[in-house]
Amino acid sequence: MPKKIYVFKRFERFWHWSQAILIITLLITGFEVHGIYSLFGFEQVVGYHTIAAWTLVGLWIFAIFWHFTTGEWKQYIPTLEKADAMIKYYAVGIFTNAPHPFRQTTRHKHNPLQRLAYLFVLLVIGPTIWFSGWLYLFYDVWPEYGLANLPLEWVAVAHASAAYLMLIFLIVHVYLATAGHTPTAHIKAMITGWEEVEDEDEEKTKI
């Protein structure tokens, strides 16, 4: 019989869903700015995109502060332990009802592949989006900082490429969120904070 453990604190849940809404908003408005379709009109959508971007910056700053003051940053330390088992599970085991190789605990919320994926977002996707976005936003003052010869097309390509990577991450993230013992188990956990795990002593389930 599974038991419930309290995994995701209130702020984590608020941060997760707020971030999701803002990222989806940025993707929708950003692709319109890029000219892929038209929903709001260029000038209006640029305003929406900018507001959502600065709101997400503020959320991330507060989230970084929270993670470091609470020690939750340790949840994201990358590890390759059991990474191969997780790859096999997602590639084959998930379709054959194989046992999950990772046992979630309050001290170990994310499996090895999740940690590596979040690290990639933190070190590659995030910085590329933010730096290229800020360059876009402050294009008028480039000459003052010696950037007059920087091709705007390069900035556009970098920003759009990072946006597509974020979209891919979002799609994979949503798909794997349905990979619990029921399709909605992990989603419910991110709403209530409580995750169902195997009824074993928590100390024996640490990785």
Q: What is the CATH number of the domain that holds 89?
A: 1.20.950.20
CA 41 – CA 34 distance, rounded (Å): 12
Element (H, E) at 194: strand 194-198
Please state, in angstroms and as integers, the Cα–Cα distance from residue 44 to each residue in 22, 26, 29, 178, following that order. 17, 13, 10, 35
pLDDT greater than 60 at residue 202: no
What is the reported pTM? 0.87
CA 28 – CA 22 distance, rounded (Å): 10
pLDDT greater than 50 at residue 46: yes
CA 187 – CA 201 distance, rounded (Å): 24
CA 80 – CA 19 distance, rounded (Å): 27
Task: Look up the domain containing 63 and give its range.
Answer: 2-205
Phi, psi of 188 (to 5 degrees): -60, -40
Phi, psi of 97 (to 5 degrees): 60, 35
Task: Please give the share of the chain, as a percent, with pLDDT higher than 70.
Answer: 94
State residue 20's pLDDT score. Answer: 96
| Number of domains the chain is built from | 1
- Residues 63-68: contacts with CB under 8 Å, at least 24 apart: 63/15, 63/19, 66/11, 66/15
Between 142 and 94, the higher pLDDT residue: 142
CA 56 – CA 134 distance, rounded (Å): 13
The residue type of 180 is G
State residue 200's pLDDT score. Answer: 56
Please state, in angstroms and as integers, the Cα–Cα distance from residue 18 to each residue in 58, 103, 144, 147, following that order. 11, 27, 35, 34
Residue 206 pLDDT grade (very low, low, confident, very high; cuts 50, 70, 90): very low
State residue 1's pLDDT score. Answer: 60
Buried b (16+ CB within 10 A) or exposed e, 4-19: ebebbeeebeebeeee
* Placement of tokens 């100390």 in the chain: 203
The CB density around residue 189, as the number of other CB atoms within 10 Å, is: 23
Class of residue 89 by CB neighbours under 10 A (exposed 0-12, middle 13-18, buried 19+) = buried
Task: Please give the share of the chain, as a percent, with pLDDT higher than 90.
Answer: 63
Average pLDDT over the chain, rounded to an integer: 89
pLDDT greater than 90 at residue 127: yes
pLDDT greater than 70 at residue 104: yes
Between 106 and 20, the higher pLDDT residue: 20
State residue 74's pLDDT score. Answer: 92
